[in-house]
Structure 1
């Protein structure tokens, strides 16, 4: 019975954490950081790591703006093991600056055995470019 509850709550499952070096950027700047995969209570087979940038609206709806990366793998992640993968993303001119009505988030998804997953969300603020007169 305990195993059923821990499975439903994903207790002891592997986790993913995207740590970006700066949570804000202007158009043309590059965001860097690292994905950290942390082992859970038992060894799990990792299938893939996915990250997308989504635009979230004031009403809670969102659109996927860009698929940032997908890393396919067939890796065993043991308990207490941590894997690191570098992260780089360029803010292009197709993005609008962040406003009170529009925010951006990186949605990261770690898919492991039986298509279960762990998720992480990180906010990104896109600043208005200053124009020199």
Structure 2
């Protein structure tokens, strides 16, 4: 029962962190990084890892998913185990540069068996 509560409240859930080599890119650049995943309090099955590339327009207060990447897997991650998965993403050519009004970030989610989820967010600058 305690494990079910911990899983539902995300206590002891595995964590995901998208690791990028830098934070400034240009349109057309290919970003090569990796997902760093650390196991939680008990063994969990990873179903997928998703990253949305999001444009945030601060003036309008709107967010727009520009593109996304998904990795499907059935990897079991044991307690406190560290894993990496490769990440590659091509910045679209036809997007505006970062400014006071426009910013970009990757919103990353890792989905586990039984619907448990962990999230991460990484900002980048487009010049």
What TM-score, normalized to structure 2? Answer: 0.89
- CA positional deviation for 1:125: 0.5
> Take 2:44 and 2:118, find their aligned partners in 1: how far apart are those partners?
12
- CA positional deviation for 1:87: 1.4
Structure 2 gaps, min length 5: none
Q: Which runs of 4+ in 1 moved over 4 A?
A: 1-5
Report the secondary structure of 2:19's partner residue: strand
Match of 2:65 in 1: 64
Relative to structure 1, the CA distance from residue 83 to residue 41 in structure 2 (aligned partners, 3 Å threshold; closer, same or farther) is: same
Match of 2:96 in 1: 96
> Take 1:105 and 1:24, find their aligned partners in 2: how far apart are those partners?
11
Match of 1:74 in 2: 74
CA RMSD of aligned residues (A): 1.7
Equivalent runs, 1:22-41 vs 2, <5 Å: 22-41=22-41
Task: Number of aligned residue pairs: give it.
Answer: 126
Kept in 2, the 8 Å contact 1:22–1:32? The answer is no
Kept in 1, the 8 Å contact 2:7–2:116? The answer is no
Structure 1 gaps, min length 5: 128-133
What TM-score, normalized to structure 1? Answer: 0.86
> Take 2:71 and 2:28, find their aligned partners in 1: how far apart are those partners?
24
Report the more deviating stretch, 81-90 or 103-112: 81-90
